[in-house]
Amino acid sequence: MSTPIGFLSAVAIVFGLVWLYVNGYTFAPVYRKAFYTLIGRAKDPRVYDEGTAVADGELPVIDVLLPAYDESETIGYSIRALRAAEYPTEKLRVHVVVEASDQTTRGTLSQLKRRYDFREIVVPPSYPGTPNKPRALNYAFERTTGDIVGVIDAEDVVAPELFRQVVCALVDGDHDYVQGRLDMENEDDGLLNTLFRGEYGFWYGMIIPSYFRVGYPVPLGGTTNFATRAVLEAAAAKRLERFGSPWNDAERETLAETGSAGVVPWDPRNVTEDFELGLLLWETGYSMAMVTAVTREESPIGLNGWVRQRTRWQKGKLFTLSQRLRYPPAGIRRKVHIYTQSAMPHLGPINVVGILLVLIYARLVGFLAAPVVAVVLLIGLSMAIQQMVMHTVGYWQVTDNRGLIRIVRATITFVSVPLYWVLQWGADVRAFVQLGFGHLAWEKTSHEGRHVDTADPAAVGSVLSIGGFQVIVAETADGWTWMVNDTDDTVAQATGPFPSEADARAGAELFGESLAIAVGSGSVFEIGMSDPGWTWHLVADEERIAVAPTHQSSVEDSLESVGRVQSAAGLAVLRADPTRERQPDTSEREPERVTPVEP
């Protein structure tokens, strides 16, 4: 055997063994979990799919931390879903954690406070550390007192049953921390988003439950995880004891000045704080549970956002590895698990290299020349194909599509997974380079609320909550119309039907323009009495363009109605809704003109 061929064979056998180890580590729990199912042990008592039996008056207080940066487009979705949860409002405390400089998100929060009960926690610039999610969480943690602390991302829509399942796990089941399921719903935004949804279906439907079932450490998701306050405080103390303080002397003085003790349940230097915390809790011996409630998330739109997010994930894992190498876990078992999960890149890139190696080896050497090498490589290849199948099954299980669309997208998912692996490879290399050059900053991923179906009444409510108001253009039996909604109430509507949707939109735009300059520039509100009661009209250049949706019992009520409409100036957004019927103008005679109302 020539030297190049011998070298290639050596490389093939070494890489093939690594390939087998990584795949074996990943999928052995899946096989074991499947075996448990075959022998009738499918049910894991640590997985909770029902709510607690604890009476409302005895439920623990849950502090939900919503770290938000540049999330004005989505924060309303999350807050509304939290406030619609099946848990007493007074015992579910919502804390939106923002940076002082994030004026856009803070402006949105000021609007949302009119409608929802939540607290805004502003992280001061003087608080030590680079602005990122774990830093914000640590700051907020010291300013809450609830029995249970949870993290929900600012774009997430939680399931109503989530919190009662969490209490069932932590209180009834006496566990220490819990993780919920996640689903990246916006698969319609492109192939990358479809593949992402399939990957999350594969990860949270197969891998994570299997890891959990067999006793592997489970890397927590960045959202929908909860722990008792006592456990997080103990984890923070353990972190300081083992890894040392992340703060220098000057920063500790600053902490004291801001009234902070410097408690760090989350590592403020790690951009994948959820992954690291999951490993730390497992290492420390705390008891984990899982709940079946699914949180709806949004995957990044476009390749750039996807790469930035994946780079951050992998960079945080590598940072965790470097930390654990300096402060090794105790015992062989802990070392194997912690080092493997921290060092292992995405499994996809390993599969890509393995497949290329199989093709090169078959071409240059031939499998018959070295049967042992051939067996190792072919087993790795079969496991790569297995992952393609599982990725596809993951998509099949979570997608909302049915029929032909589901079949077509599942097929596309299967054949596109290798391309997805190549992209993962790029993100892994980028993460390694950034960490090597000491670039530890958080790379922000933008969200647009694409995972929320705006045809869903609950989703519409979320959209309303973002801007405060919404202009709906709708088709009725008489033609097209528009209306201004505030939550579930119509506060203004067109005076009559329009012949087309374009005309209705033009009328709505005229309303918005007139509203912004009402009184003093040719636009006035007229308030008067008609037979059913008091009403108002908005008149621009002697043309009536809007009317109150209902009559009021007094002039004061009409004045209040006008005030609500004026508040909509500059806030409303257009939304087509052909299912919404217009409320007819029921005024029977011209209202008496009274003094125009100043906005």
Confidence of residue 350 (pLDDT cuts 50, 70, 90): confident
CA distances from 316 to 56, 155, 218, 313, 517 (A): 39, 21, 15, 5, 52
Confidence check: pLDDT of 123 > 50: yes
Length of the chain: 599
| DSSP summary character for residue 369 | G
Q: In the prediction, which pLDDT does 225 show?
A: 97
Q: In the prediction, which pLDDT does 88 show?
A: 95
- How does the average pLDDT of the chain come out, rounded? 83
The top-scoring range by mean pLDDT among 110-119, 163-172, 486-495, 541-550 is 163-172
Q: In the prediction, which pLDDT does 586 show?
A: 41
Q: Is 435 helix (H, G, I), strand (E, B) or coil?
A: helix
Confidence of residue 555 (pLDDT cuts 50, 70, 90): low
Residue 110's identity, in one-letter code, is S
Proportion of the chain in helix, strand, coil states, percent, rounded to 5: 50, 15, 35
- 29 φ/ψ angles, rounded to the nearest 5 degrees: -60, -35
Domains identified in the chain and CATH numbers: 44-302 (3.90.550.10), 469-576 (2.30.29.80)
Summarize the confidence of residues 59-71 as an average pLDDT: 96
pLDDT tens string 407-445: 999 999 999 999 999 999 889 889 989 988 888 777 777
Task: Supply the pTM of this predicted model.
Answer: 0.74
Buried b (16+ CB within 10 A) or exposed e, 190-207: eebbbbbbbbbbbbbbbb
CA dist., res. 580 & res. 182, Å (int): 32
Summarize the confidence of residues 279-293 as an average pLDDT: 97
Of 19-28, 168-177, 247-256, 587-596, the one with minimum mean pLDDT is: 587-596
The backbone region for 285, taken as left when phi is positive above 0, alpha when psi lies in -120 to 50, beta otherwise, is: left
Look at the block and give the residue holding tokens 């400089």.
Answer: 101
pLDDT tens string 132-143: 999 999 999 999
Buried b (16+ CB within 10 A) or exposed e, 504-518: bbebbebbbebbeeb
Q: Measured at the alpha carbon of residue 282, what is the angle toward residues 281 and 286, in degrees to the nearest 5?
A: 65
Q: Is 179 helix (H, G, I), strand (E, B) or coil?
A: strand
Confidence check: pLDDT of 144 > 50: yes
pLDDT tens string 495-538: 778 888 778 877 777 766 555 444 344 566 677 767 777 787 77
Of 201-210, 561-570, 577-586, the one with minimum mean pLDDT is: 577-586
Confidence check: pLDDT of 564 > 70: no
Q: In the prediction, which pLDDT does 81 show?
A: 93
pLDDT tens string 242-272: 999 999 999 999 998 888 999 999 999 999 9
Nearest 10 degrees: CA dihedral of 371, 375, 378, 382? 160
Summarize the confidence of residues 70-99 as an average pLDDT: 93
